[in-house]
Amino acid sequence: SFSTEEYLVVEDFESYDDEDNRIYDAWLDGWVNETGSTVGHLESPFAEQTIVNSGNHALPMFYDNAGVTVAEATRALPAQNWTASGIKSLSLYFYGAQDNTGQLYLKINGTKVVYNGDAGDISNAQWQPWNIDLSTVGGNLSSVSELTIGIEGAGAVGVVYIDDIRLYPNE
């Protein structure tokens, strides 16, 4: 007998450490892409270890859009086929903070997908799922090599935590 996973992991943030594989080296932030973001804590431990959806780590993204209109963190991926094996949706969990402002979005290979829930959800201090029907995204999903998490809005400020980025065969 055997069992199969009900999802494919894109990023679960569990592989990061504070020595050789720091979260801010994999997820490029405002220090590199000149946006208003900072990925990871400024002091060790760099990955979030308290506010997590599952496992032991999550991505903390601090943002301050003073003087810019977006804050982004981008992760280069080994080319992945998001149309194979009946994949239909991308899911991630996010956790906000009370005074957060701005609009959450993703970019898949540069194709922007704006969070389709209430924009105010980014200020809820609880884990919330965001499920994206990949048939609505467009772009080349047969060779996904870059994923970006962003917050837009001039003057937007706050921190958002991201965990459990997964692909599912059902919507």
The predicted-structure confidence for 95-144, as pLDDT tens digits, reads as follows 999 999 999 999 999 999 999 999 999 999 999 999 999 999 988 899 99
Residue whose C-alpha is closest to residue 27's, from 77, 65, 64, 63: 77
Tens of pLDDT, residues 57-109:
999 999 999 989 999 999 999 999 999 989 999 999 999 999 999 999 999 99
The 3-state DSSP class for residue 117 equals coil
Q: Are 73 and 161 in contact (CB under 8 A)?
A: no
Task: Report which DSSP code applies to 25.
Answer: H
